[in-house]
Amino acid sequence: MRDDLARAKRIGMEYGFYLLLLAIILVFTVISNSFLTISNWAQIAIASTFLLAAAAGLTLVLINGEIDLSIGSIAYVAATVVYLTADVPAGVSVLAALVAGLAIGLFNGWLVAYLGMNSLLVTLGLMIAYRGVALVFTEGTVKQAGDGVAALGQLKLFGIVPVIFLVALAFLFIFQWVLRETKLGTFWLAIGNNEDSARKIGIPVRRAKLAAYALCGISAAASGTLLAAYLGEITTFTGRGMEFQAVAAVVIGGTSLFGGRGNVFPGTICGVLLLIVINNGLGTRGVSPFVYPFVAGALIFIAIYLDSIKNRARQA
Amino acid sequence: MSDASRSLVTRDSSVPRLWHWFSARPALLPVVLSVVMAVIFALTVPNFADLRNIMNIFGQLGFLGFLCIGMTYVMVAGGIDLSSYTVVSAAAVVGATVMVATETTLPGCFLMLLIGCVFGAINGVAVAYLRMIPFIVTLSTMVVAEGFAIWFTQAQSVYGLPDAFIDTFSARVFPMTLGITARPVGTPVAGIMVLMVALALGFVLSRTIYGRRIYLTGANEETARVSGIKVRQVKFATYVVAGAMAGITAMILTADLGTATTAMVRDVRLMDIIAATVIGGASLRGGKGSILGTMFGLLFLTMLSNAFNLLGVSPFIAMVIKGTVLVAVIGLDVLRTK
Amino acid sequence: MTAKLKMEGVSKVFPGVKALDNVSIDVRAGEVLGLVGVNGAGKSTLMNVLGGIYMPEEGHVAIDGRRVELRRPADADSAGIAFIHQELLYFPTLTVAENMFISHLPSGQVPFSVDKRAARRRAQQALDQLGSAIRPSARMEMLSVGEKQVVEIARAVAQGADIVIFDEPSSSLSIKEKESLFAIVRKLKAEGKAIIYISHFLDEIEELCDNYAVLRNGRLVGSGSVAEVTRDKIVELIVGQVVSGPAARQRRKSGAPRLLLKGIRREGFLEGVDLELNCGEVLGLWGLMGSGRTELIRSILGLDPLEEGSITLNDSSGARPIAQAELLARTAYVTENRRTDGLFLEEAIWKNISATNLEQYVSGRMRVLDKGVEAKTATSMIKRLTIRAPDHTTRAANLSGGNQQKVVFAKWLNRQPEILILDEPTRGVDVGAKREIGELVESLADAGTSVLLVTSEIEEMVALADRVAVLRGGAVAAEMQGDDINETELMAAAIGTGAARA
């Protein structure tokens, strides 16, 4: 009997969050006529695109038991690269932005994995430094993206599904594949479980972490590039506060801050959706937009409380 | 390494003595940095050594100084507090609203302090009693506090504060010339307040039994617990102190700006707060740091900003430099502990 | 038929100790060798030689008659030697199959990918071979301790190890799990693996092993066929000739009762412990790992949960129930592991010593600490306990194990406690410091302190304890007094039935 109870509790902890998401969608559907409409969901898709792209890579870093707070600034740097390359073909421009993200990610990973710096503090410092670098180039003003890139941002599949959303999804699925189906992914999970044991057993810990940061850099850069493409311009708000939103979404999606536990799909996707859907749903109901931060804060709080319970055994 | 194979006392003689001496005194780094910077800026930056500018710097210490003191308490005990800067807004808007409504100063000030402490207590309960991770707990309080401020004011600024309040906290007292200026320059109350609080809380942290308990809790929570220190109470208390500091900051900033807004402290300032504390010798692992170090860390960063301002350096380049300074200091900390 | 594994004339010296002295053992394929001896007899050193962790000064290892060089753990791996450790090394959130093949995952067809199906299949094969019903896709954290151990064994099997070493594998298993462990060991034996089985339980040795080897003080003192030896003989070999001295010493008469424990219970660890600690005595708490010794202490001091039971303290104001927190405040507790909860490693000696007694240094309404008095206390403690350190400002981390332990003692003596609880007080401590610590404990007990001593070292227990309570399966199974406290009796009491936990 006790085992059954424990089992039910475990299942509840594991899947309860997905049920919550479903319930919230249901409630909004019932109380709001404009919630479950194609145009509203197209809006939700657009709104979640940029956070999805950034959270995908951050999930990998968190699974390693590390963190990257510079992702918002990486996004802005990438968007700035899009501006600086406005005159070249769109493909080259996008590629340049992603390469910039990769380079920054590698640098972050090198500092954390090879020099052993604390990831929280070091990426907090870099968050400021990278944004400063980008601001020097944009002079703190709004800049235009190239016409080619801006056109890409408006592409729609079947006239309804935004391509940028599909690009973000592609990142999520690729990362999920890397996480679940490759050696690298297994190494990440092992490192997040217990870095010392991983090292003892012969896992290339430093290289694996470096790879996670590199992918995180690319994914953050993708987020900034997609935003630049969608807006057709680069605003100084690109990526502002994104690091905290992304951390929240990833953790709500069940990825542990203790490392070693979590997934991109469905976890992180649902975490992002939950935040966006609540924001959107409250909007369609005409609820004061000022309520949203409360709800979001409470959700994060509950999510991390559950996380700390799940990992209590490992903490001790 | 087995205990048996170890000599009685290991002391690596290949490391220079000076380095040893230096790394055993982490508060020295920010002091030396500040002094060197002050001398360099005084010689190269026009108007830097002007008494009026010096007083400005002194007054600016009051804007972030309290938050830095709170952060030092929390970090010495082994935690971190990301929420304090938005708690300032939450406390400010409520306190200011009450001041406007009652046209008196005291109840509003008291409320600011109280709201700061409440948010601190929430953090403290979650970290100390529910055993949640400080970083993410305070991250969510940060979001909630900001949301609270926006909701409370419907995103409007609060105007019409009593003059008595503004005059008290943004006043300048003790005009002096020190023989270097023609016209006497007043000393900002904000600077005096932060100096006094720093002295008091610095004294508590470094000299009293309460402070020692905080250090020991941060140094090794388990050992402290077995030694009979009530580590949960200690950790809880540090967050409440941080909250109270946010409350005081709310008073000073509200008076300085003449209004309470939903973004009293900009988010990039969070980095300054943490940077000052870390430059001052604190470590995320806890058990290290001091108010003296932190205040000089803050002085260093404030002088840097001030000098850049005077030189007309782009604020963006200033961001790059500050971020790099923080990374360098963390790198130094890695070297120091190796 | 040549031996599968042969260790010949192996010697290993650590500074000041000859850990292994000319030890030779051999194991044939399809044979189980039981390796026994008290803690510190040299078993783990011997196995660390096999594991490539220590290089012996003399002697060599041969497999299938060919000499092998074991310089690092990887060499042992490729030589086909696998260890089943007492503390399992695993990743809780990974699956069984992933845990088994983490260091050589099979590659899939798509570049970079892992052939998970192949991994699961191979894991299934290995598990089937052991007759286990564990699913390869199950997550490790969902398994019981016994099941985790089976996975570890399956890993060894899957990697083709043909020499398997079990290091006290049964100490944390339930009876049922133990039976399935035995079945697996027999299966491995039938498949022709050479097995070394380390255990404290003689009945396990009798049941499982073909041969035995007894180590004492780093020397092989006896070996042969299990069929031709009695249990008493093995106990005698383990303990050795009782030299005159400690055993014949005068035991203290127990004074007035000081601490009374009744029905202390904590789910899964303690099943109702009754204990009485008196003034001016050393009460030994004896039992194997997992018998609940440390758990008992942590529970009554409020460091771990306590579900049921009463604690009564008898002091000048009479007998009364006492809260755990108050007991903690009045007790000196030398913990099992000084690095994790005994010391502030990064802090100076003086701060370590004053930590337990800060109130004593406080003056004035501001509650200021007097660092001068703190330093003075530390300096006098350094002198009293002959702590070898340049001065009181030395960081604890820079001291040797023995001196670190003395600092731990100093910090507790500073409190002038009525009750002193010692958990493995001389672990990782050199011989000189060990003797000094022993003398210190004696003098404290003479002065009226109540000492509760937990130790795994049999000589220490015999030398120091006035009374012994034997803990088994979370309850007091027996009590010994006076001359009953000798090595043979203690050994017998601990290994007795072999059922550590029901």
Contact yes or no for B6 and C400 at CB 8 A: yes
Q: Would you tell me how many other CB atoms lie within 10 Å of the CB of residue B7?
A: 9
pLDDT for the residue C500: 34
How far is C399 from chain A, CA to nearest CA, in Å?
25
What is the span of the domain harbouring residue B173? 53-266
Given 3-state DSSP classes, what are the helix, strand and coil percentages for chain C, each rounded to the nearest 5? 35, 25, 35
Instruction: Tell which of A110, A128, A310 to mutate to test the B interface (max B CBs under 10 Å).
Output: A128
Distance of CA C43 to the CA centre of its chain: 13
Q: pLDDT-based confidence at C213, cuts 50/70/90?
A: very high
Contact yes or no for B216 and C351 at CB 8 A: yes
pLDDT for the residue A312: 62
| Nearest Cβ partner for A136 among B131, B317, B326 | B317
Q: Is the pLDDT of residue A315 over 50?
A: no
Closest CA to B116 of B255, B246, B251: B246
- In chain C, pLDDT over 70 holds for what percent of residues? 95
Nearest CA in chain B to A112: B331
d(CA C482, CA C249): 9
pLDDT for the residue A259: 87
Q: In which residue are the tokens 């970090």 written?
A: B75
Q: Please report whether residue B318 resides in a domain.
A: no
Residues of C in contact with B227 (CB under 8 A): 355-356, 411
Closest CA to B167 of B140, B143, B186: B186
pLDDT for the residue C495: 63
How far is C352 from chain B, CA to nearest CA, in Å?
9
What's the fold here for domain C5-239?
Rossmann fold (3.40.50)
Q: Please report whether residue B3 resides in a domain.
A: no
| Nearest Cβ partner for C368 among B208, B220, B227 | B208
Q: Please report whether residue B38 resides in a domain.
A: no
| Nearest Cβ partner for B334 among A117, A258, A304 | A117
Residues of A in contact with B332 (CB under 8 A): none
Each residue's pLDDT tens digit, B73-87? 999 999 999 999 999
pLDDT for the residue A220: 98
pLDDT for the residue A253: 87
* B202 contact C CB<8A: no
How far is C95 from chain A, CA to nearest CA, in Å?
10
Q: pLDDT-based confidence at B223, cuts 50/70/90?
A: very high
For domain A14-310, which CATH number applies: 3.30.70, 1.10.10, 1.10.3470, 1.10.287? 1.10.3470
Give the neighbours of chain B: at least 3 Cβ pairs within 8 Å. Answer: A, C
Q: pLDDT-based confidence at A210, cuts 50/70/90?
A: very high
Q: pLDDT-based confidence at B20, cuts 50/70/90?
A: low
Just give the CATH number of C246-345+418-495: 3.40.50.300
| Nearest Cβ partner for A182 among C93, C94, C114 | C114
How far is A161 from chain B, CA to nearest CA, in Å?
32
pLDDT for the residue A48: 94
Nearest CA in chain B to C363: B208
* B335 contact C CB<8A: no
Residues of B in contact with A122 (CB under 8 A): 326-327, 330
How far is C365 from chain A, CA to nearest CA, in Å?
38
Reduced to 3 states (helix: H, G, I; strand: E, B; else coil), residue C9 is strand
d(CA A166, CA B143): 29
| Nearest Cβ partner for C94 among A178, A183, A190 | A190
Least confident interval from A16-30, B158-172, C272-286 = A16-30
Least confident interval from B169-173, B331-335, C42-46, C491-495 = C491-495
pLDDT for the residue B9: 41
Q: Please report whether residue B27 resides in a domain.
A: no
Each residue's pLDDT tens digit, B124-176? 999 999 888 898 889 889 888 988 898 899 889 999 999 989 988 888 888 88
d(CA C129, CA C127): 5
Q: pLDDT-based confidence at B64, cuts 50/70/90?
A: very high
Decide if B275 contacts B322 (C-beta within 8 A): yes
C5-239 and C246-345+418-495 have identical folds? yes
Residues of C in contact with A201 (CB under 8 A): 89, 102-103
Q: pLDDT-based confidence at C217, cuts 50/70/90?
A: confident
> Average pLDDT of A12-32?
81
Residues of B in contact with A128 (CB under 8 A): 268, 271, 319-320, 322-323, 326
pLDDT for the residue B267: 77
Each residue's pLDDT tens digit, B263-279? 898 877 888 899 999 99
Nearest CA in chain C to B11: C398
* Cα separation values, C62 from B221, B237, C42, C50, C68, Å: 48, 62, 20, 10, 6
d(CA C81, CA B170): 76
> Average pLDDT of A231-243?
91
| Nearest Cβ partner for C94 among A182, A189, A200 | A189
Q: Is the pLDDT of residue C343 over 70?
A: yes
Least confident interval from A221-225, C312-316, C373-377 = C312-316
Q: Is the pLDDT of residue A288 over 50?
A: yes
Q: Which residues are C262's β-sheet partners?
A: C310
Q: Give the CA-trace dihedral at B196, B201, B203, B205, to 10 degrees.
A: -160
Burial class (CB in 10 A: 0-12, 13-18, 19+), C230: exposed
Residue C453 CA neighbour count, 13 Å, CB half: 31
pLDDT for the residue C335: 92
Contact yes or no for A257 and B135 at CB 8 A: yes
Residues of C in contact with B336 (CB under 8 A): none
Each residue's pLDDT tens digit, A90-145? 999 999 999 999 999 999 999 999 999 989 889 989 999 999 999 999 999 999 99
pLDDT for the residue B83: 94
Contact yes or no for A200 and C105 at CB 8 A: no
pLDDT for the residue C246: 47
Q: Is the pLDDT of residue C201 over 90?
A: no
Secondary structure letter of residue C253 according to DSSP: P
d(CA A132, CA B125): 36
Model pTM score: 0.85
Residues of B in contact with A140 (CB under 8 A): 316
Q: Please report whether residue B112 resides in a domain.
A: yes
Residue extents of the structural domains in chain C: 5-239, 246-345+418-495
* More confident position, C458 or B238: B238
Each residue's pLDDT tens digit, B91-129? 999 999 999 999 899 999 999 999 999 999 999 999 999
pLDDT for the residue C88: 76
Give the neighbours of chain C: at least 3 Cβ pairs within 8 Å. Answer: A, B
Residues of A in contact with C92 (CB under 8 A): 193, 260, 314
Q: Is the pLDDT of residue C291 over 80?
A: no
- What string of DSSP letters covers A172-199? HHHHHHHHHHBHHHHHHHHHHH-HHHHH
